Amino acid sequence: MFEHFNTADQVFHYKLGLALTMEYDSLDMLVEMEEAALRSDVRDLFRDHAHKSRQQIENLQQIFSLLGIEAHQAPSPASKGMAKEARSYIAKTDDAVLDGALLAGGLELAHYETAVYDGLVIQAQAKGTAGIAELLHQNLGQEKAVIEDIKAAFESVATEDAAIQEESAAPDAPAIVIPPYLPPGSI
């Protein structure tokens, strides 16, 4: 869209386009993670986050309309990379620890999205255009709520996984025999 940025508005419009791409990438990733997750509460969590992503896409489209410019997507290599990484986890992670790996990916994504909206809210507030900062603030609030939900689920899944691993490792662990202390020269 822009070869070179000359104004704060150009940067703001470009970042809005990046946020739109990020939300579409996020939606694709969440749908795949929901299908792959094994626990029903983890699936529900990703489904809820996907629903929020759809609302956030609508908010972004409304912002473009308030600005009087056509909604457009700008490149978002970071979210593309995160989606690629999530697919790689789905392909190479054993079922026993898959939910934890997916939640870690979801948490990273939500933190990135939060950072993008934090920056956009600052720019929108500085610009002072009515309605735009509020819509971006809604998206930011949803991302922050998602972070808290994922963290709570991840803590419970990680604790469960660690306990299962400890249980399954215990019977196979070789018994460690400590030889009696023999003073030097006694053999």
What is the binding site for Fe ion (CB under 5 A)? 26, 53, 56, 113
- The count of other CB atoms within 10 Å of the CB of residue 63 is 25
CB 178 to Fe ion: min, Å: 55
**53 vs 76, beta carbon nearer Fe ion:** 53
Cα–Cα distance measured from residue 154 to residue 97, given in angstroms and rounded to the nearest whole number: 11
**34 vs 113, beta carbon nearer Fe ion:** 113
Cα–Cα distance measured from residue 106 to residue 128, given in angstroms and rounded to the nearest whole number: 32
**93 vs 123, beta carbon nearer Fe ion:** 123
CB proximity list for 23: less than 8 A, separation 6 or greater: 53, 56, 57, 60, 113
Cα–Cα distance measured from residue 89 to residue 99, given in angstroms and rounded to the nearest whole number: 10
CB 70 to Fe ion: min, Å: 21
CB 105 to Fe ion: min, Å: 14
Cα–Cα distance measured from residue 148 to residue 155, given in angstroms and rounded to the nearest whole number: 11
**50 vs 101, beta carbon nearer Fe ion:** 50
CB 170 to Fe ion: min, Å: 42
